[in-house]
Each structure stands twice: as C-alpha cells, then as structure tokens.
Amino acid sequence: MNSGDILRYIMMVLGVYLLGVSVLSLAKRKMTEPFCLAWGFFSFLMIIGGLLLRPTGLSSYISDTGLVIILLLGGLGLLAAYFISRQMSDLARKNQELTMQISLLNQENERILAVLEGLTGKLKIEL
C-alpha cells in the first residue's frame, strides 16, 4: 500500500468522522446550524475527494515521514478550526440570549413607566 492510498483512506475516514461529529453537535445544540452545515459540506468534500482523487505519484514528492508530519499538522489545524467554530457558535447563542433578555427588560421598563405615569400623572420623572 503506497502513501497515496493511505492518504485517501485517511481522508475518507476523517470525512465520515467529521460528518458524524457535526451532526451530533447539531443534535446536542453545541453548534449552530450554519457552522454545522459548513462542517458537513467540508466533510462531504473530504469523502468525495478520498473516493475520487488518486494521488499516484505522491510518494515520489513526499516521504512517509513527511506525510505523517503533514497529516498531524492538518489534523491539528482541523481540531483548531473546529474548536474556534464551536466557541463562535456558543458566543452567538449567548449573544442571542442576551438580546432577548435586554428586549424583555426594556419592555418591562416601559410597562413600569406607564404604570408610574398613571399613578403620578407625570410623563417623566426628573432625577
């Protein structure tokens, strides 16, 4: 088995794994839909790339040790990108929740001011 076939199998397995992780992250509400959609599309491309691409001359350009180093760096890069997208998704969810809370607080403040105006007869209270 040459290094091109190993690269193809790793791409296919990693694509299936990323697809599963993105679907589970969506099901557990860890990531938002746009991020999961992007990761699903990327994993689909990796699976298709592993199935269709045939890097036959790869071993003449990159040694086995170089391929291992490239795969490790690529794996670390994917892990970092997944971590960043998960954190951004969490921040977006928290931002949306805070926006809803602020809207509810503003609505409650307006209701309290209306009740106060009805009780005192003044439109605005000066401090």
> Average pLDDT for residues 83-106, to the nearest whole number?
95
pTM of the model: 0.75
Cα angle for residues 92, 96, 99 (degrees, 5° grid)? 135
Distance separating alpha carbons of residues 93 and 32, to the nearest angstrom: 8
pLDDT of 29 above 90: no
DSSP 126: -
pLDDT at 52: 92
pLDDT at 123: 63
pLDDT of 7 above 60: yes
